[in-house]
A = this chain, B = another copy of it.
Amino acid sequence: MCQNERVPKVVDRETRRGQVAEAIHRIAARDGLEGVSVRLVAAEAGLSVGAVQREFASKDELLRFALAASVDEVFARFGRFRIGPEGLTFTEGLRQVLLDLLPTDERRRAQARIWAAFYARAAVDPGFADVLAELDVRTREHLRRAFEYAREQGGLAPGHDPAALAELLIVFVDGLWLTCARLPEDADLAPQQAAIESVVRAITG
């Protein structure tokens, strides 16, 4: 009777994993990845320690799942802005994506903090670095298409290598995102907005 896995249970598992990832994100946004313990995650998710243990074999797997969830969320956020003939112009899409990164509400601020924590972890743990490296690959692929479109439309700064501009953008986004993570809640975002305007102009010419 066990040769086919019970479907409803699988759904439960999936949703539960999501709950756990949410809990990790809440804790990490509050106390950093250092503050994430199995007991705390279980309590935050309203589960017992055992339940969390059954879902994830180790804490490492736990955190890796949370990182993957975060990556997907950020990628989905970027994907909301559609650049192309039937969507935004390249310049406007670029500007909106970058402005959307700014920590204008608590949700964004929390996400930036989580991101900073995972970045630090990736610096000393290849398993996490790989996840981010794969994100880089995906991002480059998307950017390549967007920049190709921009070039066709003549919306790219003349005399610049498009690939190099794309790399500039990737680095800039990382910096913007991580800078925002450490800004106080009531910080004036004007400098960052000015930097965004500058980078948009530098890329679109």
Contacts and interface: CB of A to CB of B under 8 A. Distances in A.
A176 B175 contact: yes
Q: Is the interface of A mostly helix, strand, loop or mixed?
A: helix
Contact of A171 (B112, B132, B176): B176
A31, A122, A168: residue with the most chain B Cβ atoms closer than 10 Å = A168
Interface in A182-205: 182-184, 191-192, 194-195, 197-199, 201-203
Contact of A172 (B117, B126, B168): B168
A21 interface: no
Contact of A160 (B34, B123, B163, B198): B198
A165 B202 CA distance: 10
Nearest to A176: B171
A160 to B, nearest CB: 6
A181 B119 contact: yes
Contacts of A40: none
Contact of A173 (B122, B175, B203): B175
Contact of A178 (B121, B128, B178, B183): B178
Given A33-B34, A172-B171, A175-B173, A123 B182 contact: yes
Interface of A: 29-35, 112-113, 116-117, 119-126, 128-129, 132-133, 157, 159-161, 163-165, 167-168, 170-176, 178-179, 181-184, 191-192, 194-195, 197-199, 201-203
14 contacts: A117-B124, A119-B178, A119-B182, A120-B121, A123-B181, A123-B182, A133-B182, A159-B201, A168-B195, A170-B195, A171-B176, A171-B192, A199-B202, A202-B203
